[in-house]
Structure 1
Amino acid sequence: MTELELFYQLKEQVLRQYKESHPYFMGNWKSFTSQDILNLMDDIQCQTKQTISEKWIYTHLKPEVNVKLPRKDMLAILCSYAQCGSWEEFTFKKLQPQTPILEQVNPISKPPFSYFYLVIGGMLLVGLIGGVWWMVNKSNKDETLQLQNSYTKDTVAKEEVKAYVIEDTMEKPIELSKTKMEFTKPTQVVLKSPFYEPKKMVIQPNEPLSTIELKPNDYALIVKAFMKSDIKNWQTRKQQLQKILADDLEVIVMLPNNLGAEYFNKEEFAQKLIIPSPSLKKMNIVELQQDEQKRIKWIRITQH
């Protein structure tokens, strides 16, 4: 395998790492937009504390065919971003043979009797542990709690949803675990999210829930898309924001490292959404309120 072939594999690893940070991106290097390039530059700087220029990405990552191998220092940055260690470590692992070569045993020399049974016992023990792990892992996978968009059936991230048990009109927060939601007595549960309508349920004993559908909050999802996606038509986006944002909108952005908060009104916040930036994509909506016409009137945002 040549070094250029190894570089192609590294490019795919970098693309997979980018998709982990931007799961809404479903394309490849050919469909990478200018906004995706800015996002990638920002990701690399945050994770590796080093920079890669926009021109370098256009020259080495976007082309389907590479004529020559980039400099080793740039390869090292990509390897660090893609969780591959260094370029030397990456190439060493890729060039290792897939099947280990067994050491030949002299047919004349036979292992001691006790050693033979020790090896057989160890193999049986490893097989038993592997079987138990597979059964437990399969059981947990079958019982994984799934949150779904009621229209698209797409999976809803649990980080975007909070669950509460209602006891005497009080809401007590509970954790959305990986397993099914089960209770020993009839229990009122409500699920809340800034992007989905609240869902109230009464879960009966011995009635485990493995799938819960949530009705999307259309206006909230539009704002989320504006914050996370590339701009298409700023004039259309401006008109849409005028419709879905209330005139008295208040936006509170919580600054990291306990530095306080920033305040934005409708005009200031809309301006941020009309012309997205890498810093905008680091913002996450955690709370949202709407008026009688479903227009968004209050937003709380955190930064990462």
Structure 2
Amino acid sequence: MTDLDLLHFEQLKKDVQGQYLKEYTPSQDDISKWKGIDIIYFQEDLRKKAKGNISEKSFYTYFKNSPVTKLPRIDMLNLLSIYAGYDSWYEFKKQHLFAGELLLENENLEEEEINELEKTVSETPELPKTEIQPKKVEIQTPTNVDLQKTNTENQDVNKKPTTTNEVEISTIPTKKNFFKKNAWALITSVLIAITGLLGFKDVLFSKTYTYCFIDKDRGVSVINTLDIMVIKENESPLMYKIKPGECFSYSTKDKNLKMKISAAFYEPLEVNRNLENAPAEEKIELKPDDYKMAAYYFSRKDITGNSEEQVALIKQKRNQLENLISNNAVIYQVYDNNTYGIEKIDKQKYITLVTTPTTSLKNLNVIEMKKDNGKIVSIKFKIATTDEKNK
């Protein structure tokens, strides 16, 4: 304890007095002049705010006399400091340093308090260490005495030596927890379930959409093979070929579908669908290309009648094809045999081929036909064999 500590305590009493006067009006503002009911109200407020109490005797000892010659105990100093709005007595002194005063960081207890604690610890008697030894149970077997009695006297008694069996009590092993026993089985089952879910997620979360294609002018199914390109974001396009009269079914978990549809005798069509509310089945109309249809029609048109009528029909057919096909048209005939594969022919050879009266014209199959500025500029065709036609 130092004189500075006593001065700090006088400061603390002023702070305690000021804290109480913020909410209450005692008989006197000076805390040293409080008595009776003032002290009782102060004790109640101290218990409420600092969760502690000081006796009336301590109040008279440290608050009625000013200045004091002895500091209160550290617990009372901390209690009053908390009431005044500080964390501890040390924190209060730290914020009220006098000029030239140095405050140690570990100065939380007064020297007298530390000496008292050390003395108390040193005087504490050491407790003897005892060990609990396992008990042994002794089981004694009963003594067997052989007595043989005659009419006159007892014979000697034969005694068997007494044996003592020592039984050691062993602890019963605790049962393992069910979860620990089956942990690997449970984990394996969960992993298998997750793997199965990931493997079949496309099937589980996919929905199938079916699209059928009809001729817009005639209201019937398209007459030739369709090429469908499904375009997916950040992926290569998916290509599908749909035979005449068949519908296209596509399974996906995506929310949007983009398709490009092309056919030999129909104008190309791009289809975009929002699949969130789209129907499972839909009919899509394809607009026929009149020039391509006409070229196909005249290429397959039969020439019947007498010789004069045939000549007139051939001439009419040639004129119509001349008007429909560009002079610079690129025309390919596709073969299935290994000799040719594909052959390029000019416009006149194509017209001669399709105007020559033969039964093979009924098997003419146009694979691709392109138009530019009202003229056919490209034709790819194939004359199917009888076996192919019957497939």
TM-score (normalised: structure 2): 0.37
Structure possessing the higher radius of gyration over alpha carbons: 2
TM-score (normalised: structure 1): 0.47
Identify the structure with the greater helix proportion: 1
